[in-house]
Amino acid sequence: TCSVDTFLILWKLKTQCRAYRFSGHAEAVTSVEFSPDGQVLASASQDHTVRLWIPCIHGETSVLKGHTASVRSVSFSQDGYSVASASNDKSIKIWSVCYQRLLFTLFQHTGWVRCAKFSPDGRVIASCSEDRSVNIWDTRNKTCVSSFSDYEGFATFVDFNPSGTCIACAGSNNTVKLWDIRINKLLQHFKVHRAGVNCISFHPSGNYLITASTDGTLKILDLIGERLIYTLHGHKGPVLCVAFSKGGEKFASGGSDAQVLLWKTNFDTLDYKEVLEHNFRRTHIDDPPHLLDIYPRSSHFHNKKLKSVEVNPTFDVPDKQTPDPIVIEIRPSSPIST
C-alpha cells in the first residue's frame, strides 16, 4: 500500500501479522504495483520520481527521474521488463526495469495524465487525462492509435479487462464506461455512484468489475447481467483505490480515512447462487464467459433505482479494529544491482 504519509507499507498477511515500512519518497506516494513475478515494486510520487524497490528488509531501491511534475500512476508490462508512469507534466514515460533508464516518452495529452496502464499482452497502453480524453497507444511505433473523449467530466482511472479487448474508465462525473478498443465502441455505461469514481478493478474472470468512489462506497458490477449486485460500506469518507487479488478470492480497498480494508469475495459459494441463476454456466470454472460473450452490445444506461445488497460494516467488516501489526522500518541502503 502507499499513502500521502510518503511511505510504502508491505503487509504480511499470513502467520503472525507484520508490516514493513519503506521510506525514500520525499512527498506523497500516489501509486504502487508489484511486478508480475512479485520480485520488484514500482511506486510513483508527488516528488516527481518513480522508484523501483526490492521488497525485502535490505531496502534496495532505484530512483527514476525524468518527470517534471507529480507522478500519478505506475504500471508494469506483463513481461516485467518495462514500467509506464503517468504524470501531471502531461506525459507518459516508459522505463526499462533492467537498465533503470528511460526508454521513451508519449506526448499528446493536453492536461494532467491521471493513469496509464499496459494491456495484458504489453502491445498497447491506455491512458486517461484531465483533458477529457482516453488514449490508446501502440508501444511499438509509439503513437496514439485511437482516442475516446465523450466524458462530461474526465476519466480518473483506466484499466484493461483480462482478455485485453476492452477498457473500463472511472469518471469524475460518477460514471463507469466500458469500451471495446477493437472497434472503438461504447459497450456499457454505469451510473451507480453519487460522486466521482476514483478506481476500478476487473475480477480475473472478466465477469465482474469493482468500483471505488468518493461517495464512500464500493460497488460490484455484474458485466454479463449488466447490473449492480453489491454496494459495500466500511470506509468513512472517500474510497480512493481498490484491487482484486490475483486469484479473485479477495480484494483490498484504501480510503481517505487512512484505512486499508481486506475483503473476501463469495462469487464461488452456494450463497451466491441467486446472482448466478440467470447464467448457470458461470459457476463452472472450466468454461468462464467473459466480456466477449456480450460483444457487440450497444450502450447500456442504468436507471438510478437499482436493487443492491447493502453490507452492514458492523457485521461484515469485523477486522476494522484489528491491532496494528509489528512495523519494521526500512530505509534505502543501496541502489538495485543490475
Which grid coordinates are listed for 209?
468489475
Model pLDDT, residue 333: 73
Give me the pLDDT at residue 228, please: 92
pLDDT of residue 92: 98
Question: How confident is the model at residue 297, as a pLDDT?
Answer: 43
The per-residue pLDDT for 338 is: 60
Residue whose cell numbers read 459457476: 283
Report the relative pairing of strands 227-232 and 309-311 from DSSP bridges.
Answer: parallel
pLDDT grade, residue 151 (50/70/90)?
low
Which letter does DSSP use for residue 116 in this model? E
Q: How many CB atoms are closer than 10 A to CB 291? A: 24
pLDDT for residue 15:
66
**Of 92, 100, 51, 96, which is closest to residue 69 (Cα–Cα)?**
92
Please answer whether residues 200 and 176 qualify as being in contact, where contact means their C-beta atoms are separated by less than 8 angstroms: yes
Average pLDDT over every residue of 234-252: 94
Residue 193 main-chain phi, psi, to 5 deg:
-100, 160
pLDDT band at 293 (very low <50, low <70, confident <90, very high): very low
User: In this predicted structure, what is the pLDDT of residue 56?
Assistant: 85
Q: pLDDT digits over 62-107, tens only?
A: 999 999 999 999 999 999 999 999 999 999 999 999 999 999 999 9
Indicate whether 23 pLDDT > 70: yes
Neighbouring residues of 76: CB distance < 8 A, sequence distance ≥ 6: 33, 34, 35, 36, 42, 82, 83, 97, 118
Domains of the chain: 108-323 (2.130.10.10)
Average pLDDT of the residues of the chain: 85
Report whether pLDDT(312) > 90. no
Lowest-confidence pick of 38-47, 81-90, 285-294? 285-294
Check residue 327 and give its pLDDT: 84
| 289 confidence band (pLDDT: 50, 70, 90) | very low
Query: Confidence band (pLDDT; 50, 70, 90) for 176?
Result: very high
Q: Confidence band (pLDDT; 50, 70, 90) for 308?
A: low
Give residue 277's pLDDT.
54
Q: State the Cα–Cα distance between residues 142 and 127, nearest whole angstrom.
A: 13
Determine the Cα–Cα distance for residues 314 and 53; give it in Å rounded to an integer.
37
Residue 315 has a pLDDT of 54
Which tops the pLDDT comparison, 308 or 50? Answer: 50
Instruction: Say which residue, 264 or 296, is predicted with more confidence.
Output: 264
Does 290 have pLDDT greater than 60? no
Query: Percent of the chain at pLDDT above 70?
Result: 82
